[in-house]
Amino acid sequence: MQGRSREDAIQQDIKDLHQLGYAQELFRTMGGFSNFAISFSIISILTGAVILYDYGLAWAGTAAVLIGWPLVTVFVLMIAASMAEIASAYPTAGGLYYWASKMKNKDWGWWTAWLNLIGQFAIVAGINFAAAFFLNQTIISPLTGGALENTTEVFKFGETLVISGQLLTMAILMAVQLVLNIVGINVVAFLNQVSVWWHIAFVILISGALFFLGTQNTATDAGLTLFAIQPQDTLGSWEIRIPPSAGVGDDTSTPLYLLSMGAASTYAPVFVAFFFSLLLANWTYTGYDASAHVAEETVGARVASAWGLFLSVAVSAVVGFIFLLALTVRLPDLTPLFGQLDDAEQYSQYYFGNNAAVVYILKENLGAGLGGLFGGAIAIAMSFCGLSSVASAGRMLYAFARDDGLPGSSWLKKVSHRYRTPANALIAMVVGAFILSVIAFVQGGGTAIVIVTAISTIFLYAAYGITIYLGLTTTGWLQHRVWSLGRWSRPIAKVAVFWVLVLMVLFSFPTSGNISITFMLIVAAALLVYYLAWAKARFKGPQSHGGDAQLSEIEKEFEQAAEGVQRA
């Protein structure tokens, strides 16, 4: 972009988009920092690392952070770098779906789209479910005198609790996020930038407070050794039973297959439990494909999207480790979190409860006042994260619908003439994510967060892995990339694919009541039926919406509609 005006860069972006077959329907105003900001906000150290911190402790103790975080970071940086190369070749909304279609064919694109889309629904659900928990615990419940808490029973169907106080807050939060996203990308871009500085500022403040004011010591108070694999889970268990009903309740039949595992602390050798703890880091590093999904709204998209995708991971790696290190060297007595199963207000959410280890650590070290204040700051950071995730996921849904890839595409692909945002796709994404959260809550109770985080990690990384694999096995896209790893491109891509395969296995196990493997099998079967019955013959893949003249005419209609709205 050096030597060119902003307008020249936008015109080049539009030309590139025309070559991909699409009109400039969305509003292109985001700069490079805003593109980076949306992925950084979705990774959100104060969301992912907080939500599953107790999960990491349960499976590996301090090693989950001190060994697991750097280990996962190396692999994820390779994945991000490989994806950044491809993003620079195809700067379009929908990103991965379009990449796979062009590198191979429409069938690969269709499967990639659905894997990415399901992951997007799950990540929106997971982030906002956690944000609602923190908002209630740190802000809403204290302000209302406990009138609305996470465990408040809002709606029951018979004896089944369907809507809790946590889900009610989640619904209100997502409604606000939806309105902000529909109003326009300028609003979201500005709030994403605020989010970046909010995250960095509070990571510094929280980490500094723990390092210099913290009263707890991991060795003396928690009885843990730094860097050692010491699972805190002493009471949990999980199993894989096929069929699921065999030998359960009144059913006396023998399962065809049964794998039963006890608490993480019983694993021999113990490093097996450590591998499950890697979900803490790997789920935190999700959603950075957002930089690709907003490419059609980014100025200088080829380069900006690639750098946004890669740098969001690199910066999060450093900031995240500082934050997690501060927590890990100031661990208090963990017995209230992991040593009992009879007090829903105390034990870790890993044990199906309603507390979070990070809030507990902050209050034990800094007192209820400062610790509660930082908890509120984390809740707001999570809300920013949810806002960004809705923006990214909505554009993924819009891009796939634009090429008639799913039911209701004619409605989903409509763009608001007033705001030039994919309003219908955003509405569908928010509603779908909330429904997924309700289902996960009804099925898993307090483990809902583990369910949706595992699902989002598995499906998103499956889509990431497919595109990187296709990049390895095809060459046509190489001539289009402008962000290159040079001779390291193929070796890095091979390692990236290897790690995706590893985490597919790790996070499919039903640890802590996680039903992700069941969900995956059901979804895979449903998609296969849908693919064979309809998509294989009827789905055409990315479609050119016309030549330059036709696409320019579409763009003119949007401009005229916007002018008419402004005059009105």
Q: Tens digit of pLDDT for each residue in 1-18?
A: 455 788 889 999 999 999
- The average confidence (pLDDT) of the chain is 88
Tell me the C-alpha distance between 338 and 321, whole Å.
Answer: 24
Max mean pLDDT among 271-275, 315-319, 345-349, 418-422 falls in 315-319
* 31-437+463-493+500-515: CATH topology: Amino acid/polyamine transporter I (1.20.1740)
Provide DSSP, 527-566: HHHHIIIIIHHH---S-----HHHHHHHHHHHHHHHHHHH
- Tell me 292's DSSP state: H
300 closest CA partner among 101, 83, 86, 17: 17
Looking at the predicted structure, is the pLDDT value of residue 330 above 80?
yes
333-362 mean pLDDT: 66
Of all residues in the chain, what percent carry a pLDDT higher than 70?
92
Cα separation, 218 vs 225, whole angstroms: 7
The better pLDDT of the pair 552, 229 is held by: 229
Only one residue has tokens 């998509």, namely 535
Please give the Cα distance from 479 to 477 (Å, whole number): 6
Tell me the CA distances in angstroms from 218 to 131, 213, 275, 340, 454, one per residue in order: 27, 14, 22, 20, 28
Smallest CA-to-CA distance from 339 within 328, 329, 331, 347 is with 347
pLDDT of residue 227 exceeding 50: yes
Residue 353: pLDDT band by 50, 70, 90 thresholds?
A: very low
Q: Which carries the bigger pLDDT value, residue 388 or residue 137?
A: 388
Give the per-residue pLDDT at 352.
41
Using one digit for the tens of pLDDT, what is the confidence trace for 146-175? 899 888 899 988 888 899 999 999 999 999
pLDDT band at 42 (very low <50, low <70, confident <90, very high): very high
- Cα(205)–Cα(46) distance, integer angstroms: 12
Its pTM stands at 0.90
534 pLDDT above the threshold of 60:
yes
Cα torsion 59, 68, 73, 327: sign:
positive
User: Greater confidence, 343 or 492?
Assistant: 492
Residue 286's nearest CA partner among 169, 392, 406 is: 392
Average the pLDDT over 111-118 and give the result: 94
